[in-house]
A and B are shown apart, each in its own frame.
Chain A
Amino acid sequence: QVQLVQSGAEVKKPGASVKVSCKASGYTFTSYYMHWVRQAPGQGLEWMGIINPSGGSTSYAQKFQGRVTMTRDTSTSTVYMELSSLRSEDTAVYYCARVNYYDQAFDPWGQGTLVTVSS
């Protein structure tokens, strides 16, 4: 079955960077775009960007331009999201989500990775 497994929780200091991984299985990795979405504690969902695992092209939300980098490793079927210059407002659960088989809705989602930014 299609599965996305994310890396474990992280605690970072302000100004640091974090790199979250999302390992895909159960399908052809290069055939489906992958998104990243985050959710601050008690808040709603916020789209961060998208990566094409085939060619590696990316598109980021304007809010994160210059701070986020999405990459992929086709040999391990893994996508990565790196966020730099962390601040307390970046404390959130970060999700990867593949596009749906039928259209571009998000399905499935990874289990989420909690990133805590604290001094």
Chain B
Amino acid sequence: EIVLTQSPGTLSLSPGERATLSCRASQSVSSSYLAWYQQKPGQAPRLLIYGASSRATGIPDRFSGSGSGTDFTLTISRLEPEDFAVYYCQQYGSSPVAFGQGTKLEIK
């Protein structure tokens, strides 16, 4: 089974800055079936990126995803106050589905 490792565990940045979140897989992710989710306290996760680089419906273009194989990145170009949350990567190309442990993006 594929294990996803996210880094860093916590990222402290200020509004307006650029955020770069990493997700590394223990094996190649099939057909770039890699997604990113945002989760705020008390809420369900929300899909941001699917297929490694496609933005989900309604997601602002400051969110972008890239990568293939075993290395993937979520970039938030200019942080807005509402972007501070926990972010999870997920592979869904092979069973079992797996999630990374999460990166907490906090206000510096």
- Please provide the 8 A-B residue pairs with the shortest distance between their CB atoms, ordered closest to farther: A105-B50, A107-B47, A109-B44, A105-B35, A47-B97, A45-B99, A104-B92, A44-B101
CB distance from A23 to the nearest CB of B (A): 15
Q: Which residues of A contact B (CB under 8 A)?
A: 35, 37, 44-47, 50, 59, 61-62, 95, 97, 100, 102-112
Q: Once the chains bind, are B97 and A95 in contact (CB under 8 Å)?
A: no
Interface residues of B in 44-85 (CB under 8 A from A): 44-47, 50-51, 54, 56
A110 to B44, CA, bound (A): 7
Majority SS of interface residues in chain B? loop
Q: Residue A45 contacts which of B45, B56, B93 (CB distance < 8 angstroms)? A: B45
List 23 A-B residue pairs with CB atoms under 8 Å apart, sorted by A's residue number: A35-B97, A37-B99, A44-B88, A44-B101, A44-B102, A45-B37, A47-B96, A50-B97, A59-B95, A95-B44, A95-B45, A100-B56, A102-B50, A102-B51, A103-B50, A105-B33, A105-B50, A105-B56, A107-B47, A107-B50, A107-B56, A109-B45, A112-B44
* Contact flag A104-B47 (CB < 8 Å), given A46-B99, A47-B99: no
Q: Once the chains bind, are B92 and A106 in contact (CB under 8 Å)?
A: yes
Q: Which residues of B contact A (CB under 8 A)?
A: 33, 35, 37, 44-47, 50-51, 54, 56, 88, 90, 92-93, 95-102
Q: Once the chains bind, are B99 and A105 in contact (CB under 8 Å)?
A: no
